[in-house]
Amino acid sequence: MAMTELTHSELCLIAEKFLKRHGFGVVFHDRYQATIETGEQPDAIGFKNNVSLLIECKTSRSDFFADKKKKFRVNQNLGMGDWRFYLCSPDVIRVEDLPEGWGLLYAHGNRVRKIHGFPTNAELINNKPFAGNKRAECDFLYGALRRMVIRGYFDDIYIKL
């Protein structure tokens, strides 16, 4: 019985849940759109103490190869994420296709299998393959917080006395 192909939106939601399960307390998926100078719009990105992890979701090999041409992929210093992974169905990307420093995750239905490069907890902080573009990440997070201010929810972050 053949497995149904996952859509890009489904992969993004799977990536979001995967990041939350791995202790990333602040996670965004592709529905959140922010204006970032580099033009990068992460499919999923998670933040926790001193580390960011980006997941790019790919439904086809042609989309994967097109992604490699984006300016924040060509110049890795412009990209977000101290750790960067592709998430796809098993037949889309192979380990030998990966750019240097990138990891690979396979989606099997709603489950994610770590194929290449996923760090241990100690490695997560100490062996980051990238110095994520912290300006772009701050702009991304600022955009989210600014929306909370505009919509009147920002005061909810304070402890009620």
pLDDT tens figures, 10-46: 999 999 999 999 999 999 998 887 777 788 899 999 9
Half-sphere exposure of 51 (CA within 13 A, CB side): 21
- Cα dihedral 83/88/94/98 (nearest 10): -30
Residue 34 has a pLDDT of: 78
Instruction: Select the more confidently predicted residue: 8 or 5.
Output: 8
pLDDT tens figures, 47-97: 999 999 999 999 999 999 999 899 999 999 999 999 999 999 998 999 999
Cα distances (angstroms) measured from residue 18 to each of 22, 26, 60, 102, 108: 6, 12, 21, 17, 12
Average pLDDT, the chain: 92
3-class state of residue 91 by DSSP: coil
3-class state of residue 2 by DSSP: coil
Cα distance from N-terminal residue to C-terminal residue, the chain: 57
Who contacts 33 (Cβ-Cβ below 8 Å, separation ≥6)?
41
3-class state of residue 20 by DSSP: helix
Provide the pLDDT confidence category of residue 4 given band limits of 50, 70 and 90: low
Residue 61 has a pLDDT of: 95
